Amino acid sequence: MSEKNSGQTIEETIVIGSGPAGFTAALYTARANLNPLLITGNEYGGQVSLTYEIENYPGFPDALGGVELVERMKTQAEKFGARVEFDFVNEIVIDRHPFLVRTESGQEYATKSIIVCTGARPRYLEVPGEKEYTGRGVSYCATCDGFFFTDKDIVVVGGGDSAVEEALFLTKFASRVRIIHRRDELRASKILQNRAFKHEKIDFVWNAVVTEIVGGDEGMVVGVKTRDTKTGEEGFLETDGVFIFIGHLPNNEILQGKLELDEDGHLITDRRGRTNVSGVMAAGEIMDKVFKQVATSVGQGTAAAMQTEKFLVELEEEGYPGVDQDPREFVQPLVKA
């Protein structure tokens, strides 16, 4: 399917990112004979690969591991012809067509379309000690690090689904898990709340924020300083580990100044996954700050891929806009969230 232009192969489409949205976009564009190239990024599999078990992905009533799900998605996409490159995109050039995609390893690809699936990353607390003790008691991944806290006392910061779900997972290892939440009501779903409230190893520290993570002589976490959000009272909790799950930030560094972002940094797209630049589609947590489920990312990946196919047919029929022509001329009206 690839064409040549000035000696450079022109891809039909490049998918940036290897989470559920990315692999689904690759699967659908592969099945449409578009021979997609998927560039994984540094976090292969995205956030789902850090998830121990997924219980709410339809079709898997017995739950399945995040890593296993990603592997299955990759295998399925490759089966239909998707190519997967383990590389990191550090620049996209989209004010000319074909677009250019440049990577950390020094590759430059020309492509007629791009599907951005760069996802999101954990939000940091941004308190003293957090950076210093990351990997020394501070963690953002229960699946990766839970084992190191066997029979230890840990705290989990946050009150959403991630915090409660991961706290439940951490009870497999830790002797005690305290969830520190800045309010007196959880944001997490009722089913998770009920499990946590009933769990003998889980306690709650309500109306509290962590103001500092404190280490001991051996360079490992020994406790957290806290502040009561109602009374302002300062406190200290002894603990061996701090797991932080306070939401996510979109991975938009390569998109800034090039594509329209909302006030939180998510890509603005219409319902078909179109960004404000014709030929650039998006799917998954880079464009969705509301649902953020594996199932919704998969749906968005499907939509973006089908829209990409449609774009390429139209491009074929109407001819290339030509090098140096600004593809923004083809911009479709946006449906803002």
Q: Which residues bind ligand NAP (CB under 6 A)?
A: 56, 125, 157-163, 165, 182-183, 187, 209, 245-248, 292
**Distance in Å, CB of 24 to ligand NAP, minimum:** 18
Which residue type, as a one-letter code, is found at position 242? Answer: V
Comparing CB distances to ligand NAP, the nearer of 20 and 159 is 159
Rounded least distance, CB 248 to ligand NAP, Å: 6
- Which residue in 62, 87, 95, 145 is the catalytic one? 145
Asked whether 145 and 310 are in contact (CB, 8 A), the reply is no
| Torsions phi, psi for 216 (to 5 deg) | -105, -170
Name the residue nearer to ligand NAP (CB basis): 161 or 240. 161
141 labelled catalytic: yes
- Residue 240 to residue 224: CA distance in whole angstroms: 10
The reply to whether 145 belongs to the active site is yes
DSSP summary character for residue 271: T
Strand segments, DSSP code E, in the chain are 3-5, 8-16, 37-39, 83-85, 89-93, 99-103, 108-116, 120-122, 138-139, 153-157, 176-180, 202-205, 208-215, 221-228, 234-238, 241-244, 248-250, 280-282
Instruction: Report the nearest approach of ligand NAP to the CB of residue 126 (Å).
Output: 7
Catalytic residue, candidates 95, 141, 153, 228: 141
For the bound state, the minimum distance from the C-beta of residue 63 to ligand NAP, rounded and expressed in Å, comes to: 11
Query: Do residues 143 and 66 touch, judged by C-beta distance below 8 A?
Result: yes
Report in angstroms how near the CB of residue 144 gets to ligand NAP at its nearest.
16
Of 62, 95, 117, 144, which is the active-site residue? 144
The C-alpha atoms of residue 50 and residue 27 are separated, in whole angstroms, by 22
**Nearest-approach distance from CB 51 to ligand NAP, in angstroms:** 8
109 vs 245 by CB, closer to ligand NAP? 245
Buried b (16+ CB within 10 A) or exposed e, 31-70: bbebbbbbbbbebebbbbbbbbebeebeeeeeebebbebb
Rank residues 301 and 327 by Cβ distance to ligand NAP and give the closer one.
301
- 264, burial (CB in 10 Å: exposed 0-12, middle 13-18, buried 19+): exposed
| 117 tagged catalytic | no
| C-beta of 246 vs 255, nearer to ligand NAP | 246
Residue with tokens 């121990």: 52
Concatenating the DSSP letter of every residue in 141-169 gives -HHHHGGGGTT-EEEEE--SHHHHHHHHH
* Nearer Cβ to ligand NAP (38/54): 54
* Nearest residue (CB) to ligand NAP, 27 versus 242: 242
Residues 283 and 300: beta-carbon distance below 8 Å = yes
Could you tell me the sign of the dihedral formed by the alpha carbons of 49, 52, 55, 59, in that order?
Answer: positive
Minimum distance from CB of 38 to ligand NAP (Å)? 23
Active site residues: 141, 144-145
